[in-house]
Amino acid sequence: MEKIIYILLLIILENDFYKDINTIYNPTNYDFLINKNNKLTNGYVPQDLELIDINYSCKDKYLRKEARINFEKLSKQAKKEGFNIIAVSTYRSYEYQEKLYNNYVLDKGFYYADMASARAGHSEHQTGLAVDVADLSLDYDNFESTKEFNWMKNNAHKYGFILRYPKAMFHITGFKYEPWHYRYVGNDVATYIYENNLTLEEYNLINSR
């Protein structure tokens, strides 16, 4: 049922999504928007990608330096309190995202692909600032039902991360609810977004005025 509602919404909103696309060439801050209306170039690769400590990630996972440092701090503190927050998907190249999206289209059709996956250039994972997390099961699809999710809800902002695709915000973010996907925006912005219950889209709109 939920899926049908999303698909209907997507059909209604498809005039806005993936239209009037703005290209971000060289992001210098941490709170810039990448979504269905803002994209990175196919050649964009962050220059400060760093490997995440294997204690807090699956094999070979990279984030930009500041996001990597803060994710490790987050994960370390969670572990101390008895929670295991593991990075399962982080930086993805333009080419890899292209493959992922195309596979979704082949597998589940065009509308489902646009609801659940980003077209190449439009994925936050290309920024090197986004991380999909899970508990020790590594099954991020079930992350919402874990005690780790509850910890993330209350603590992620203290380390500069926001829940990027909150429930029922599809009409604004363009993506279905993803309890596992967090975006690094820096401590001050994350705290502001958390305290005011905003999406990154709303935050950017308020700040562009």
Termini Cα distance of the chain: 38
181 part of the interface to Zn ion, by CB under 5 A:
yes
CA 121 to chain centre: 14
Minimum CB distance to Zn ion, residue 160 (Å): 17
Are the beta carbons of 148 and 142 closer than 8 angstroms?
Answer: no
Helix, strand or coil, per DSSP, at residue 56: helix
Give catalytic residues, as residue numbers: 178
DSSP 39: E
Are the beta carbons of 10 and 115 closer than 8 angstroms?
Answer: yes
114 part of the interface to Zn ion, by CB under 5 A:
no
| 23-31, 60-68, 75-83, 178-186 -> range binding Zn ion (CB under 5 A) | 178-186
d(CA 180, CA 109): 23
92 part of the interface to Zn ion, by CB under 5 A:
no
148 part of the interface to Zn ion, by CB under 5 A:
no
164 part of the interface to Zn ion, by CB under 5 A:
no
Minimum CB distance to Zn ion, residue 209 (Å): 29
* 157/183 with CB nearer Zn ion: 183
CA dihedral 7, 8, 9, 13 (to 10 degrees): 100
Residue nearest to Zn ion (CB): 181
d(CA 102, CA 105): 5
Minimum CB distance to Zn ion, residue 182 (Å): 8
132 part of the interface to Zn ion, by CB under 5 A:
yes
| 48-56, 107-115, 142-150, 180-188 -> range binding Zn ion (CB under 5 A) | 180-188
* 12/146 with CB nearer Zn ion: 146
Minimum CB distance to Zn ion, residue 58 (Å): 14
* 36/181 with CB nearer Zn ion: 181
* 70/97 with CB nearer Zn ion: 97
d(CA 91, CA 51): 10
d(CA 125, CA 79): 24
Interacting residues with Zn ion (CB under 5 A): 132, 181
